[in-house]
A = this chain, B = another copy of it.
Amino acid sequence: MRRVDVIDTAAAITRETVEGRHVLVMDVLRATSTIVTALNNGAKRIIPVETVEEAVALKRRCADSLLGGERGGVRPEGFDFGNSPLEYSKDAVQNKTIVLTTTNGTRALVGCQSAHAATIGCAGFLNGKAAVRRLTAKTGDLALVCAGTKDRFSLDDFLCAGMLLQQIMAEEEVQMADLGWNALLLYQAYGESLPAVLDNAKHYQVLKGLGFHEDLEYCLMKNQLEIAPVFDGNEIRID
């Protein structure tokens, strides 16, 4: 029976919790939702970087790349895209390399890499089933990594961990600590009323205040995308 642990913020990623495991990183609002959408719409690859300066420098070296991301929820000056998944349409991204810089999602992806995860997948509500299927096809323990918001617990990512756990446990028995049970139980109780429940959550409120209503509605749709991207080397791709 494999172990599945939930890690509730990027700050809680350690070698003890992640090394050698297959992990799924979730930053539902909005980095991983944006990543899976852009790749589903035909982007060739996503290169996540930590700072706006790195993103700009990288674009200078890769002439055909586009810049995406946010600071404080909004698009940095000179960027091609913000962090709204709905901007990453087929027309805009097909066959493009996208250099993406977001605060929490990038930190979680890079954190899992530094902590020597065996596989690093990207997941959200949008592609939960496909993301789980790709990882459970492998042998070994799993970790579900919630990016959180500025190193704090974020309800949206945690509820997504609950959905992924429910999907995993529909197929196999697992060993799990209390934090995993918390995520699963919370999702079982509130998975059918995500918008109402998340209306209490801080980051959801921030994005609502910035006018991103359509993003919120979109990012909470379940299992719409049949893709399971993986972060490997320095890029995220479908295969």
Give chain A's interface residues, CB within 8 Å of chain B: 149, 152-155, 158, 177-179, 181-182, 185-186, 189-190, 197, 200-203
B186 touches A182 (CB 8 A): yes
Question: What is the minimal beta-carbon distance from A219 to any residue of chain B, in angstroms?
Answer: 16
Q: What are 13 A-B interface contacts by the 8 Å CB criterion?
A: A149-B178, A152-B177, A153-B178, A153-B179, A154-B178, A155-B181, A155-B182, A158-B178, A178-B203, A182-B182, A182-B186, A185-B186, A185-B197
Question: Whole-angstrom distance between the alpha carbons of A34 and B41 in the complex?
Answer: 59
Question: What is the minimal beta-carbon distance from A159 to any residue of chain B, in angstroms?
Answer: 9
A158 touches B182 (CB 8 A): yes
Question: Whole-angstrom distance between the alpha carbons of A186 and B177 in the complex?
Answer: 16
Partner of A201, one of B149, B155, B181, B203: B181
Question: Whole-angstrom distance between the alpha carbons of A201 and B179 in the complex?
Answer: 9
Partner of A177, one of B179, B190, B202: B202
Question: What is the minimal beta-carbon distance from A121 to any residue of chain B, in angstroms?
Answer: 24
Question: Which of A158, A181, A182, A200: most chain B Cβ within 10 A?
Answer: A182
Question: Whole-angstrom distance between the alpha carbons of A189 and B178 in the complex?
Answer: 16
What is the chain B residue whose CB lies nearest that of A201? Answer: B178
Question: Whole-angstrom distance between the alpha carbons of A186 and B190 in the complex?
Answer: 9
A178 touches B155 (CB 8 A): yes
A200 touches B186 (CB 8 A): no
B182 touches A190 (CB 8 A): no
Q: A153-B179, A155-B178 are in contact. List 19 more A-B contacts (CB 8 A).
A: A149-B178, A152-B177, A152-B178, A154-B178, A155-B181, A155-B182, A158-B178, A178-B200, A178-B201, A178-B202, A178-B203, A181-B200, A182-B186, A185-B186, A185-B189, A185-B197, A186-B189, A189-B189, A189-B190
Q: Which residues of chain B are within 8 angstroms of A181 by Cβ–Cβ distance?
A: 155, 200-201
Partner of A190, one of B153, B155, B185: B185
A177 touches B153 (CB 8 A): yes
Q: Which residues of chain B are within 8 angstroms of A155 by Cβ–Cβ distance?
A: 178, 181-182
Q: Which residues of chain B are within 8 angstroms of A186 by Cβ–Cβ distance?
A: 182, 185-186, 189
Q: Which residues of chain B are within 8 angstroms of A202 by Cβ–Cβ distance?
A: 177-178
Question: Whole-angstrom distance between the alpha carbons of A186 and B188 in the complex?
Answer: 10
